[in-house]
Structure formats: C-alpha cells, structure tokens
Homo-oligomer: A and B are copies of this chain.
Amino acid sequence: MFPHTAPDPRIGRRLDDPVVETPAFLVSDAKLEANLTAAKERAKALGVTLRPHLKTHKSIEIARRQMMSPEGPATVSTLLEAEYFAANGVTDLIYAVGIAPQKLGRVERIRASGCDLKILLDNVDAARHVSAYTAARSIEIPVLVEIDVDGHRSGITPESDLLLEVVKSLTGGARFVGLLTHAGASYDKEGAANARGAARRERDGIVLAADRLRAEGIEVPIVSVGSTPTVFAAEDETGVTEIRCGVYAMFDLFMTNLGVCTLDRIAGSVLTTVIGHQKEKGQVIVDAGWMAMSRDRGTARQHEDFGYGLVCDLAGRPVRGLDVRMTGANQEHGILQAVAGEALKPEDFPVGRRLRILPNHACPTAAPYEKLLLVEDETLTVKAALDHVRGW
C-alpha cells in the first residue's frame, strides 16, 4: 500500500532544469520549517497539545516534521487521509468531518489496523447509528461531539439542550471522548482583533460546553479547538487540551490578507513556464491555469484581490511588489498582468522563462499534484519529491 517507487528524477535539479516540468507544486523547505516551528512554539506557550490538520498537504513527510511525535496526534479531513497516515505509522487521528453512517465499516478497518481513529458527530441520528453499529459489531469507536461557537457550519451551540441529548445517545461501543470546535468565522474578517475575538469565543464556547457536561458527571478528556487564525491569535487557552491548525504549514495569500502571516512566510507556490504573450494587452501567458492554481478566488472578497495568484521570480520573490498577478485563467492557461504599474513587456518574460506563483489558498492548489516538490531555498534545487494522497 502506498509504495515508494524509484528515486524521482527531479531530485537535485534546479527549478529551471527542463527535467522539472511545469506546472509543479513547490514547497520552500526553510519557510515550511519556520511555519511548523511557529505552531509548535504556540502550543508550548499556551500549554496545550498541538494536533495539526494534515489536509493542506496530505503528505506523510511533512506530517512527520509537523507532529509532536511520529505517531501523532493529528487531524484528517477524509478517510483516505486516515488510511494513508495510519499505514505510515500515525496512531492518534481525529477525522474532523461529521460521520456518515455508511463510513463506519471503513472506520472499523482503520482502527483494526492499529490506529486510534476518533470520529465526530453533532446529532442524535448519527449518535444512534454509531451506537447501533458498535453494539452489533462488539467494537469500540471513540466519538467527539462538535460544538458550534460562531454559526460557521456544523456543530451544536454550547448552551443547547441538544448537547446533553447527543452525548447521552452514545451507547454500546460509541465512547464519548470529548468536544471539538472550529472557529470558521475567523476567516471572514481581516485583522488581529477579529482573530483574537474568534479565539476567545472558540475557547469560551467549548469550555462552557465541557463544563455543562462535567456538571452532569460526564468526563470530557479532549477539548479541541482551532483554526490557523485563532491558533496564532489566542491569548489564553485555559480549559482547552489541544489546538488544531492546518494551512499555517504553507500559508497563502488569503492568510496574508487576513493579517495572520507576511508574504515571505508563504511556503507553497506553483512553478510555471511562459508560453506566449498578448503584447497589446500587456499580458504574459503561462502554462499554469486554474487546474494548477485551483479555482479558489478567496482573496476576491478581501482588501487585495490577487486574481489567481501573485507572480514571483524563480527565487520566490514578487517580480514587482504586489503589481503582477495572474488576472485570468483557463484550464491550463494563466494570464499574467500588471494591475497598476507599467504593462508587462515580452522581453522581460521571454518564452521559456520560469516563474513561481503564490496561491490564494494552499489546500486546493496542492491537491491535484502527484508529488509536492520540496525546494532547497539557497540553491533553488529540488530536495525531495513528497508523496501525498489525492481524492477520497
């Protein structure tokens, strides 16, 4: 399962070597390391466990550098990720999407392989399905209940009567192990004050929910919170046992606009090659379109709309501040243009020139590539071709 094959021919090659074909997804080794270290330091300062979300890259090699131990803990967004990380020795995982009853067989198989995979739910129906399944199979599945602290998506509000009802519906081998919340609303507004407020609401909400359960004599071993903005803004996580964050490993333009990171901390980029020009329009055409960058236009509703990405040179430095962006994209074509300054000249971007484009959102951008190329920043060479999983 997930075998490694012959050494990748790109390893040791420079980013302008034809063997490194484009488009390719690059991860700056030094920036990645700095980002991973920053989250570990946050967890230490806050006195909580770090349970990174691995959905951004889905790569065991990055996960091993990111987790507190080779066995975890960590968070996943699909059962394929759970299988892959379990097969690679990770034994403490939360699948942080509400469980569908039909997935319990696959959960059982992953747990039987030796991984303590925990599941999530927020309703009585799902709790009954898990209870019935575990009773029928005489097995145990640890369950977290999802709390909604900001009306973002799913979960139960901390004050709700439903909370006790759902927890009490867990019978058979459906073992309640704690609460989980995600302050998704921290993505909606820019600025540090918003992130700090979201972090406070995330903590206050889940701690209230945990206290209500404990008042009923129910143990709540895991109290799990997190999102990249709140983890980096949180001032106090008293009552919380662990923090989760994912996109921070690579960061992206969306996070830069939010104010969570600076541009020079973005570790993920797409390597592309110039294939033509529309001289009259001041456009440069490259071989990375929306399949390579993703259709994510998240920055469109922020203070800087980066189009499909910010254009950088081979070393990863913006070619002209924030001025040159991928303003349009088709499936395999990208259109680069200056948004304010002088029109781009073909002689500055000759056919065959390579560029790096910073993405709006690291998670969808990294997803379609067969491998993620880890780049040695000083030499601009490929250090490793990282395995990861795609699909479900």
Contact A102 B331 (CB under 8 A): no
Total residues of chain A contacting the partner, CB 8 A = 64
Contact status of A335 and B368, CB under 8 A, knowing A276-B126, A351-B123, A352-B129: no
Residue of A100, A154, A363 with most partner-chain B CB within 10 A: A100
- Of the stretches A196-204, A209-217, A292-300, A336-344, the one at the interface is A292-300
Contact A98 B331 (CB under 8 A): no
Query: How many subunits of this chain does the assembly comprise?
Result: 2
- Of the stretches A15-23, A33-41, A59-67, A134-142, the one at the interface is A15-23
A interface: dominant SS: loop
Interface membership of A313, Cβ < 8 A: no
Complex interface bits, A72-90 against B, C-beta within 8 A gives 1, otherwise 0? 0000011100000000000
Contact A351 B154 (CB under 8 A): no
Contact A277 B123 (CB under 8 A): yes
Contacts of A102 in B (CB 8 A): 18, 21-22, 273, 352
Contact B101 A154 (CB under 8 A): no
A184 to B285, CA, bound (A): 15
Interface membership of A391, Cβ < 8 A: yes
Contact B370 A101 (CB under 8 A): no
Complex interface bits, A92-131 against B, C-beta within 8 A gives 1, otherwise 0? 0000011111110110000000000000011101100100
Within A260-281, which residues are at the interface with B (CB < 8 Å)?
273-278, 281
A184 to B335, CA, bound (A): 14
Chain B nearest Cβ from A181, distance in angstroms: 14
Contact B391 A369 (CB under 8 A): yes
A363 to B184, CA, bound (A): 28
Interface membership of A322, Cβ < 8 A: no
Contact B332 A285 (CB under 8 A): no
Residue of B nearest to A296 (CB): B295
Complex interface bits, A318-342 against B, C-beta within 8 A gives 1, otherwise 0? 0000000000101111010000000
Contact A367 B368 (CB under 8 A): yes
Q: List 6 A-B contacts (CB under 8 A).
A: A18-B105, A21-B103, A21-B106, A77-B332, A151-B281, A290-B364
